[in-house]
Structures are given as C-alpha cells and as structure tokens.
C-alpha cells in the first residue's frame, strides 16, 4: 500500500476515534447504567421506573423489551429517543447521546398512543411527516403511496383518521414511522389493537425490515408476538432487567427431543416406543400435533375471502 494512502487511512480512523473513541458501528443502541425516576409536581421522588439498565442492541437485529404493565418498557424507549432525560446513566444511539437531535433523522418511532392529527387523511398525514424530514414533494408522494399500500390502507387513504378503527390507526402509525426510511425503528406495542390478520402482517413487516438490514427495538407484553419476530429479548420487571438473551436459546428445552413424522401407521408406534425405552428414554407424549389458534384463524379468514358463503367444517373432523 502506498505510504500516502496509509497516512490518510490512519488520519481518518484517528479522527473518528477522537470524535467518539468507543463508537462501534455494529452497536446501534446502548444503555449504560440507565435509570429513570419520575418526580411529582413538587419534585418529590415518585416512581423508580428504570433501575440501572445495561444493554446493547446490534445492527440488523430485532430486539424485544418484554415485561408486565408498568415495568419500564415505554420509559426505556422514550429515553432512547431523547424524549425523556435519564436520572442517571446514559443512553447512546448510533454512538451519540440520546439527547442529540441529529440522530433522529435515522430513527422511526411508533408510540404507544396515537398522536396523529385526526382531521388529516392517510395521504395528508404521511405528506406532513415527509415535510418534517425535508423530503421533496415528488419523493413524499411516492413514498406515501408505497407505505400506504404496504400497510394495507390503499382503500381508505382519502378518509380522515378520525373515521379509522384502532387497527387502521396503528397501521398508519407504522407507515408514519417509516416515512424517512429509518435505520433504527422503535415500536411501542406494535400489535396492540390489531386483529390476528393485522398482527401477522405487522410481524411480517418487522421481519421484512430486518431483512432490509434495519434494526428494530420493540416492546410488548404479548409473548407470542415477541417470540415470532425477536432475535434477542430483555425481560424487565418493576424497572429491573431480569433476563437478557437470544429467544431460541432461552426457550430451548435442552433435556428433551421432539420428533415429528408423517405417514407412519399407528401399528408402528409400539416399536418406536420400544426403541426409545431401550435407550433409557421416557416418552412424554406421542400424539397428533395441534396447530395454533392463530394459524386456524388465519386459514379460516383466507378461505372465507376465497370462498364467500362457505362454512368451515374442521370441527367435524
């Protein structure tokens, strides 16, 4: 490598180190000893909502914050957005302090409660948020149409949001969160108010975002939703971190083995049992697997739209 090139490379990496010596571009979100105490009107200590949280979210992962009501999930998300200031500790996003506003250009946020203007239509809403990001009119229009289609609201795009159902508001909320094509998306209870079909679509959209290389942090107390989409989770309880890890390893039952097979006659079951017992194993169950209620509901909805008037006869089997 020529000497001049080595020099410029060294200089630029030095520069980066000087601006933030610890910045690792693979770590999108970092909470260091992050704590939040809410005070009442007179400044008296009221609620310790978050207690010394330490965690990292890596680029390209879907990270779930789980916990019962009031465990500090929304507080954590608001601290990452810089909407709240920590009582102690630090929240870093893209290596910058969460209070630095420039980082917000690369963030999308779906809040717990809708704050959208009720008298705007879906198209106007997205146009409004596009303007906030200084997007040119042509780009705003294209992006709005694309997102409205993606969240399944094309049929209602000219209706005012005050006429929308809860699930429709949630969908346009997600579209709004994605208007600036963000790198990091923070979703506070993304599936709340959605029917099972909407929930599945929301989960598919989250997986699609991950496939595009985006980083997603979502919080929920709906365990099935988190299990389906998250790579790693943190479980909070009364503001304290209780568990942190990969979903698949947290849920793995290491001392059991599950085998599924088809087209084996019932008569072979005794032989299978004998082999397992010969090896000292203990058969816990051997039965037809059950589908989930979600799968059943979705297949009925799909069939109903394909064959109107036809009634499902699954229960008769």
Helix, strand, or coil (residue 217) = strand
Does position 74 interact with Mg ion (CB under 5 A)? The reply is: yes
Q: What distance in Å separates the CA atoms of residue 160 and residue 92, rounded to the nearest whole number? A: 37
Which part of the chain contacts Mg ion (CB under 5 A), choosing from 39-47, 59-67, 112-120, 179-187? Answer: 112-120
Residues 180-239, interacting with ligand ATP (CB under 6 A): 221
Q: What distance in Å separates the CA atoms of residue 230 and residue 195, rounded to the nearest whole number? A: 20
Q: Of the two residues 159 and 221, which places its CB atom closer to Mg ion in the complex? A: 221
Q: Of the two residues 224 and 272, which places its CB atom closer to Mg ion in the complex? A: 224
Residue 215 touches which member of ligand ATP, Mg ion, none, C-beta under 5-8 Å by kind:
none
Task: Give, as one character, the DSSP assignment of residue 71.
Answer: S
- Map residues 41-80 to x or -, x wherever contact with ligand ATP holds by CB under 6 A: -----xx-x-----------------x-xxxxxxx-----
Task: State the number of binding residues for Mg ion (CB under 5 A).
Answer: 3
Cα 39 versus chain centre, distance: 29
Q: How crowded is the C-beta side of 245, counted as CA atoms within 13 Å?
A: 8
| Cα distances (angstroms) measured from residue 271 to each of 259, 274, 285 | 15, 5, 15
Q: Of the two residues 74 and 180, which places its CB atom closer to Mg ion in the complex? A: 74
Q: What distance in Å separates the CA atoms of residue 207 and residue 228, rounded to the nearest whole number? A: 9
Q: Of the two residues 38 and 117, which places its CB atom closer to ligand ATP in the complex? A: 38
Q: Of the two residues 7 and 45, which places its CB atom closer to ligand ATP in the complex? A: 45
Beta-bridge partners for 241: 236
Q: What distance in Å separates the CA atoms of residue 27 and residue 30, rounded to the nearest whole number? A: 7
Q: How far is the CB of 239 from ligand ATP (least distance, A)?
A: 7
Q: How far is the CB of 35 from ligand ATP (least distance, A)?
A: 12
Output the residue with the shortest Cβ distance to Mg ion. 74
Of 257, 258, 197, 189, the C-alpha closest to 217 is 189
Tokens of 246: 């990969």
Q: Which residue has the tokens 């890890």?
A: 245
Residues 95-134, interacting with ligand ATP (CB under 6 A): 112
Using CB under 6 A as the criterion, which residues of the chain lie in contact with ligand ATP when the complex forms?
38, 46-47, 49, 67, 69-75, 112, 221
Using CB under 5 A as the criterion, which residues of the chain lie in contact with Mg ion when the complex forms?
73-74, 112
């Amino acid at each position: 490598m020529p000497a001049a090139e080595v020099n410029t490379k060294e200089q630029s990496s030095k520069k980066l180190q000087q601006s933030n010596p610890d910045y690792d571009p693979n770590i999108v979100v970092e909470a260091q000893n992050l704590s939040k105490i809410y005070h009442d009107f007179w400044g008296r200590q009221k609620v310790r909502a978050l207690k010394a949280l330490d965690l990292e979210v890596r680029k390209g992962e879907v990270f779930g914050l789980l916990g019962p009501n009031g465990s500090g999930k929304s507080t954590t998300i608001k601290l990452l957005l810089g909407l709240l200031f920590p009582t102690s500790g630090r929240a870093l996003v893209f290596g910058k302090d969460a209070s630095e506003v420039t980082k917000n250009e690369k963030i999308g946020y779906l809040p717990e409660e809708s704050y959208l203007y009720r008298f705007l239509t879906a198209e106007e809403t997205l146009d409004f948020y596009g303007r906030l990001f200084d997007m040119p009119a042509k780009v705003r229009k294209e992006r709005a149409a694309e997102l409205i289609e993606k969240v399944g609201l094309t049929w209602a795009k000219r209706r005012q949001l005050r006429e929308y159902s809860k699930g429709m508001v949630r969908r346009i909320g997600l579209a709004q969160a994605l208007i600036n094509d963000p790198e990091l998306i923070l979703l506070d209870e993304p599936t709340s108010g959605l029917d099972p079909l909407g929930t599945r679509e929301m989960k598919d959209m989250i997986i699609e975002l991950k496939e595009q290389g985006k980083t997603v942090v979502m919080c929920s107390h709906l365990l099935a939703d988190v299990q389906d989409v998250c790579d790693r989770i943190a479980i909070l309880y009364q503001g304290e971190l209780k568990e942190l890890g990969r979903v698949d390893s947290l849920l793995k039952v290491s001392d059991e083995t599950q085998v599924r097979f088809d087209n084996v006659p019932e008569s072979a079951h005794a032989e299978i049992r004998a082999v397992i017992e010969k090896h000292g194993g203990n058969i816990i169950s051997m039965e037809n697997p059950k589908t989930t209620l979600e799968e059943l509901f979705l297949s009925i909805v799909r069939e109903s739209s394909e064959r109107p008037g036809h009634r499902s006869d699954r229960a008769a089997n």
